[in-house]
Every structure is written in structure tokens, then in C-alpha cells.
Amino acid sequence: MGLANYQYNLVHSHGVYDLEVDTEVNNTHECALQIKKCLHENSHFSAFTELKQRAGNRTKVYE
């Protein structure tokens, strides 16, 4: 818990996501269904593109 708390702001500081699932409220199956639904309903994901633009193309961001 201490390490997760310490790393939270570092890991999530960019604040850009195409999808967020709440693993505290939803079980594994429900989260998987949310991901599956998102993949089937959205043809364009923009989080990696936005992060790449923010980085000014200084770093390689995988799309």
C-alpha cells in the first residue's frame, strides 16, 4: 500500500486515458467486458497520440 500510494501521482500524472476501469468496484469479468465494449465501439484511440504531442516527439511512444 505504501509503494502504490507513493507511485500513484507519478504513474497517473499525465491524466490521459482512452478508457478507465474501476477495479475496486468491478470484478475482473466486468472490467474485461468494459474493455471489450470500448474496443468494439471506438475506432480511434487518442491517448498515445496526445502523450506523444505533449512530449514534443522527444521520446518514442508506442501506438
Instruction: Give pLDDT, residue 59.
Output: 56
Instruction: Give pLDDT, residue 63.
Output: 53
pLDDT in single tens digits along all 63 residues of the chain: 789 888 888 887 788 889 999 999 999 999 999 999 999 998 788 988 888 888 886 655 555
Within a domain: 9: yes
Instruction: Give pLDDT, residue 9.
Output: 83
The amino acid that residue 56 corresponds to is: G
- Residue 12's domain comprises 2-54
What total of structural domains would you count in the chain? 1
Is 59 in a helix, a strand, or coil?
coil
Within a domain: 60: no
Please check whether residue 23 is in contact with residue 33, taking contact to mean a CB–CB distance below 8 angstroms.
no
In the chain, count H helices and then E strands.
3, 0
Please check whether residue 55 is in contact with residue 63, taking contact to mean a CB–CB distance below 8 angstroms.
no
User: Model-level pTM?
Assistant: 0.61
Instruction: Give pLDDT, residue 36.
Output: 94
